[in-house]
């Protein structure tokens, strides 16, 4: 069974999930640990690499790549690795890509996802357990969740306000591309309380909260949260031909 911490099946244990590190990345080890907890092999990818190393999916983790100089994600967008990721995500193979926090910012800068990220509306760094609603469980990274399910994972950012023009926001809603919404309180002023979005194909997902910090009992929100693990098991199920 996926995600039960038992020995994974041969199919799942053979999955290779790349985890990209930029100068200033903070959560690459946490993301790699989440991949292993789900039953796959975590493959380190360096920002200057020019090969994806035959990975089956990619995670761009959180942090402060290049110190968030110029604008969060603006420099990382030009890394050689990002050229490979953009090409693979847009290819016929539709490589699954997950951007978490700074990774989400990089995906918007690379135009794999629409919109942009700016400073939180209260202009302060925030760190808290955050309730999210699953708005779309038909992506490569959300298939193990129920539509409308509420989950709790960790939020920590200072450039977490998602913005886009009204036409783009209307299109995201109409095309069911809002992946997650904030519940109870909009912690950074994001337009329409958007916490995460996907591309049209559903293989690319970005969100501000950190599912990799909620994968095992004793360490997640309320010291018991495991709601984040299903991001990583979802992509494995997707890769072996399960729920799309």
Closest CA to 198 of 112, 118, 132, 131: 112
- Whether 210 is catalytic is yes
- Whether 150 is catalytic is no
* 166/139 Cα distance (integer angstroms): 23
Q: Give, in order, the Cα–Cα distances in Å from 26 to each of 56, 65, 100.
A: 23, 8, 11
**CB-based contact 202:107 (threshold 8 Å):** no
Question: What single string gives the DSSP state of each residue in 163-231?
Answer: E--HHHHHHHHHTT-EEEEE-S--SS--GGGEEEEE-TTSSEEEESSBGGGSSSTTTSGGGT--TTHHH
Looking at 101, 109, 144, 213, which residue is catalytic?
A: 101
Looking at 109, 135, 144, 212, which residue is catalytic?
A: 212
Looking at 47, 109, 210, 238, which residue is catalytic?
A: 210
- Whether 101 is catalytic is yes
Which of the residues are catalytic? 101, 210, 212
């Amino acid at each position: 069974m996926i995600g039960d911490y038992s020995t994974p099946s041969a199919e799942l244990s053979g999955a290779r999930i790349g985890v990209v590190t930029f100068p200033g990345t903070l959560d690459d080890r946490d993301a790699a640990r989440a991949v292993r907890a789900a039953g796959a092999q975590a493959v380190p990818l360096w920002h200057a690499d020019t090969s994806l190393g035959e990975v089956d999916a990619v995670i761009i983790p959180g942090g402060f790549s290049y110190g968030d100089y110029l604008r969060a994600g603006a420099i990382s967008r030009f890394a050689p690795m990002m050229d490979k990721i953009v090409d693979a995500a847009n290819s016929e193979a539709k490589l699954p890509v997950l951007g978490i926090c700074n990774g989400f910012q990089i995906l918007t800068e690379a135009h794999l996802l629409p919109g942009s990220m700016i400073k939180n509306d209260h202009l302060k760094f925030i760190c808290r357990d955050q309730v999210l609603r699953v708005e779309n469980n038909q992506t490569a990274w959300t298939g193990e969740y129920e539509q409308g399910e509420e989950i709790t994972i960790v939020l920590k950012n200072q450039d977490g306000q998602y913005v886009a023009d009204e036409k783009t926001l209307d299109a995201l809603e109409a095309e069911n591309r809002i992946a997650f919404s904030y519940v109870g309180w909009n912690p950074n002023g994001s337009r329409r309380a958007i916490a995460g979005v996907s591309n049209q194909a559903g293989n690319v997902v970005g969100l501000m909260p950190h599912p990799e910090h909620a994968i095992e009992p004793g360490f997640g929100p309320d010291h018991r949260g495991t709601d984040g693990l299903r991001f990583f098991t979802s992509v494995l199920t997707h890769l072996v031909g399960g729920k799309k």
